[in-house]
Amino acid sequence: MEGGAALRLIIRVNALGAWRRWVALKEQSWMLLGLVLLFLSGYVLLAFSMFQFGLRFLQRFPGLGGLLVERLLFLLFAFLFGLLLLSNLVISYTNLFRNRETSFLLTAPVPSGTVFQWKLIESTLLASWAFLFLIAPLLAAYGLVNGVAWHFYPAVVVLVALFIVLPGAAGASLAILLARHLDRKAFQVILVSALLVGLGVLLFQLRPEKVTDEELETRVLAVIDRLLDRTRFSQFPFLPSYWLSSSVQSWAEGAFRAAGFFVLVLLSNALFFGFVVATRLGKAFYEASSEVQSRGSLWIRWRWFQRLQERRRERREALPDFRFRSQGLLDALLAVGGWIPSDVRALVAKDLRVFWRDTTQWGQTLMLFGLLAVYVVNIRHFTRQLDSPFWLAVVGYLNLGACALNLATLTTRFVFPQFSLEGRRVWVVGLAPLGLVRVVWLKFWCATLGTLVVTAGLTLVSCGMLQLGAARTVFFCGAITVMTLVLNSLAVGLGALYPDFKETNPSKIVSGFGGTLCLVISFAYIAGSVGILAVGTPWGWGTSGVDEFDPGRAVFVWTLFLLISVLAGWIPLRLGLRRVESVQL
């Protein structure tokens, strides 16, 4: 079959499958579908309102409003381009080399270049939908605030479509390079060194500006000039984000000649690099795929790991009992103390091994923890100019919201697909003495303990850096503990209620209906909970009595908070357990 005809057939089959899933979803539950659409519409309206308010506020800044808005757009698109590049790299690697459909297509009478082209399109769409969902309200608010003409909006759609081609092509190219040379020590050293240098440069560029109170009162323009100078890297002319930002702002201002220039720059680069990657990397993809499938563990190439393996092999051969000889290092660690039952230990070891072997999972985990590190490093400088107790309290609740949103990211991305990742062999787990219900409960408690360590630690560190005091630290740690239980219950329950055993890619599982519903309900629960805790804070909102604790208000707030938490967490978990109980194996 020719490449073009095969590509059209693959696209048609996948589009038809997506359409049928949508039709089946509408026939399954109109109420649930309407609830999701309601939440999505609410998010779009809320984001649009917040962006509109922020842009109008900045534009009212005397003399520098337009400059601040311009620099913020350059900075936002620069960071989004970096995140898009990382997302495309991780998803492309999984889609190209760790995907069952890819393995099947490579054995079919389809050219390898066609398989790569389809996976390039699919990976770009999967990596970019969140970017499109975020950027649409911002651009709509920007157009409304600036009073643009009607043709601004279709032009922006075309510009964004061209923009996402570049990180998609770059991510696929880097994924092939990574897969082809990851087992080479020189490449590993260069990669780690480049990552460390890049992280150091990023931390240096984003280091907080030390500003004295005297400078804030008498030299505001000088301080703003220093801050703008630190973000000048976002205006590097060879960045695709610079082309997109310049074209959007020039079109909004009516400078169509300048906008047309940047549109042509973006179009020429998207066409050139998109064409080169789509038509010239098919052979390289096939060779990299063959290398990945025939490659053993990367750790085996390191001498210290070889010596460790030899010592373990010698100890196993010296033990007569097969049960101990077949025990691995992970099993031995979980067996320390003997307080974990053997069946539970086996399932936990299986899940940890699956997580470690999935490059996408731990790759995105490292990226997420890198962003958290940047947040923790910079948060200690946030309260230096906040002397009002009112604003310190506001910052405390905003920090609680940030920690909760990080928790929602963890639960939606990593916890929700856990039950679906059992795959079509879930019946094997169901026939085990543990049973599917206990499996779901075990996944819930393991996920809760794992995420609680991250979120509670983040809350403790951030509260200490914000100098919120022991009482508020305990208050926020208690709130984040309850949220951890609720969000994990929500993710595990909806994951069992809407499983997808046919899919092996966690990104695709999360992008489905159940994952979207989990994300929407998680955000709604976080917004409602933080709002209730902030409005009814037991310390009051007065500038003089903010430290006066009110026990009656605390009891009322926590009662309402726990009631919402039970509704948001226990109901989805109970529905998921009932669904699992009714499964006929």
Cβ-count burial 559-570 (b if 16+ within 10 Å, e if not): eebeebbeebbe
Question: Which stretch of 386-400, 433-447, 468-482 has the lowest confidence by average pLDDT?
Answer: 386-400
Q: Tell whether the model's pLDDT for residue 8 goes beyond 70.
A: yes
Give the pLDDT of residue 208.
56
Residue 549 DSSP class: -
Does the pTM exceed 0.85? no
Q: At 315, is the secondary structure helix, strand, or coil?
A: helix
In whole angstroms, what is the distance from residue 411 CA to residue 409 CA? 6
Q: Tell whether the model's pLDDT for residue 218 goes beyond 60.
A: no
* pLDDT, average across residues 179-193: 68
Q: Tell whether the model's pLDDT for residue 445 goes beyond 80.
A: yes
- The per-residue pLDDT for range 522-560, each reduced to its tens digit, is 988 998 898 888 877 776 554 444 456 667 777 888 888
Token pair 């990104």: residue: 507
Q: Which tokens go with 22?
A: 């949508």
Give the pLDDT of residue 326.
45
* pLDDT, average across residues 298-310: 54
Give the pLDDT of residue 323.
45
pLDDT band, very low/low/confident/very high, at 130 (cuts 50, 70, 90): confident
In whole angstroms, what is the distance from residue 446 CA to residue 449 CA? 5
In whole angstroms, what is the distance from residue 421 CA to residue 487 CA? 19
- 246: exposed, middle or buried (Cβ count in 10 Å: 0-12, 13-18, 19+): buried
* pLDDT, average across residues 227-247: 86
Give the pLDDT of residue 322.
42
In whole angstroms, what is the distance from residue 342 CA to residue 335 CA? 8
pLDDT band, very low/low/confident/very high, at 324 (cuts 50, 70, 90): very low
Give the pLDDT of residue 251.
93
Q: Tell whether the model's pLDDT for residue 506 goes beyond 80.
A: no
Give the pLDDT of residue 178.
84
Q: Tell whether the model's pLDDT for residue 99 goes beyond 60.
A: yes
Give the pLDDT of residue 325.
41
- 462: exposed, middle or buried (Cβ count in 10 Å: 0-12, 13-18, 19+): buried
Question: Which stretch of 7-11, 450-454, 498-502, 572-576 has the lowest confidence by average pLDDT?
Answer: 498-502
* pLDDT, average across residues 224-240: 79
Tell me the helices (H) and strands (E) count for the chain, helix number first. 25, 0
pLDDT band, very low/low/confident/very high, at 189 (cuts 50, 70, 90): low
- The per-residue pLDDT for range 71-97, each reduced to its tens digit, is 889 988 998 898 899 889 888 888 888
Q: Tell whether the model's pLDDT for residue 211 goes beyond 60.
A: no
Per mean pLDDT, which of 66-80, 244-258, 462-476 is the most reliable? 244-258
Give the pLDDT of residue 542.
47
Q: Tell whether the model's pLDDT for residue 191 goes beyond 80.
A: no
Give the pLDDT of residue 314.
63
Backbone CA torsion sign across 433, 435, 441, 442: positive
* pLDDT, average across residues 168-173: 94
In whole angstroms, what is the distance from residue 553 CA to residue 533 CA? 10
Q: At 361, which helix (H) or strand (E)?
A: helix 359-379
Mean residue pLDDT of the chain comes to 79
Give the pLDDT of residue 75.
87
Q: Which tokens go with 357?
A: 């072997």
Token pair 């190209």: residue: 96
Q: Which tokens go with 104?
A: 């099947």
Cβ atoms 580, 440 nearer than 8 A: yes
Q: How many residues does the chain have?
A: 585
* pLDDT, average across residues 178-199: 70
Cβ-count burial 344-377 (b if 16+ within 10 Å, e if not): bbebbbebeeeeeebbbbebbeeebeeebeebee
Q: Tell whether the model's pLDDT for residue 282 goes beyond 70.
A: yes
Give the pLDDT of residue 97.
86
One-letter amino acid of 41: S
Q: Where are the domains of the chain?
A: 31-295, 301-326, 358-585
